Amino acid sequence: MNWLFDADERFTDVKKSSRLCVLCKGAHLLCGKSRCPIVVRANIMYEAVRYFDRLDITGSSPPGVFVGRFGYPKVYVGPLTPPFRGDTRILDTPEYWFGMSIEDIVRFRSILLRGEKPVHVYSASKPDELLLTLQELAMSRKPVDLEVNLARKPKTSLILDDEVQPLGVSAPISKVRVEGNIYVDRRMEKVYYDRDLKATDAVFDLYRSGVPVSSIQKAFSLGVFGIGSNRRLVPTRWSITAVDSIISERLLENVKRYPPISTYLLFESVYLDNRFEILMIPSFWSYESIEAWYPKTIWNQDGKIPVIEGDWEGYHGRRSYAMIGGCYYAARLAVLEYLESIRRQASVLILREIHPGYIMPVGVWHVREHVRNALRRRPLAFQGIEEVLSRISERLEVPLKTWIEHSHLLKRELYQQRIQNYLSGSS
Q: How far apart are CA 219 and CA 242, in angstroms?
A: 12
Residue 272's closest CA among 333, 349, 361, 332?
361
Cβ count near 129 (within 10 Å): 9
Q: How far apart are CA 55 and CA 150, in angstroms?
A: 5
Give the pLDDT confidence score for residue 298 in this predicted structure: 81
Above 50 in pLDDT, residue 171? yes
Q: How confident is the model at residue 302 (pLDDT cuts 50, 70, 90)?
A: confident
Are 276 and 352 spatial neighbours (Cβ–Cβ below 8 Å)?
A: yes
Give the pLDDT confidence score for residue 284 in this predicted structure: 97
Secondary structure (H, E, C), the chain:
CHHHHCCCHHHHHCCCHHHHHHHHCCCCCCCCCCCCHHHHHHHHHHHHHCCCCCCEEEEEECCCEEECCCCCCEEEEEEEECCCCCCCHHHHCHHHCCCCCHHHHHHHHHCCEEEEEEEEHHHHHCCCHHHHHHHHHHCECCCEEEEEEECCCCECCCECCCCCCCECCEEEEEEEEECCCCCECHHHHHHHHCCCCCHHHHHHHHHHCCCCHHHHHHHHHCCCCCCHHHCCCCCHHHHHHHHHHHHHHHHHHHHCCCCECCCEEEEEEEECCEEEEEEEECCCCEEEEEEEECCCECCECCCCCCEEEEEEEECCECCCCCCCCHHHHHHHHHHHHHHHHHCCECEEEEEEEECCCCCCCCCCHHHHHHHHHHHHCCCEEECCHHHHHHHHHHHCCCCHHHHHHHCHHHHHHHHCCCHHHHHHCCC
Give the pLDDT confidence score for residue 23 in this predicted structure: 47
Above 80 in pLDDT, residue 408? yes
Q: How confident is the model at residue 163 (pLDDT cuts 50, 70, 90)?
A: confident
Q: How far apart are CA 51 and CA 63, in angstroms?
A: 19
- For residue 172, cis peptide bond before it (omega within 30 degrees of 0): no
Axis crossing angle, helix 408-415 with helix 385-395, rounded to the nearest 10: 140
Cβ count near 105 (within 10 Å): 21
Cβ count near 364 (within 10 Å): 25
Give the pLDDT confidence score for residue 8 in this predicted structure: 33
Above 70 in pLDDT, residue 308? yes
pTM to 2 decimal places: 0.87
Give the pLDDT confidence score for residue 22 in this predicted structure: 39
Are 161 and 363 spatial neighbours (Cβ–Cβ below 8 Å)?
A: yes
Above 80 in pLDDT, residue 37? no
Lowest-pLDDT choice from 103-107, 146-150, 162-166, 300-304: 162-166
DSSP bridge pairs for 345: 260
Q: How far apart are CA 238 and CA 223, in angstroms?
A: 12
Give the pLDDT confidence score for residue 301 in this predicted structure: 83
Give the pLDDT confidence score for residue 237 in this predicted structure: 93
Q: How confident is the model at residue 111 (pLDDT cuts 50, 70, 90)?
A: confident
Q: How far apart are CA 152 and CA 302, in angstroms?
A: 39
DSSP bridge pairs for 143: none
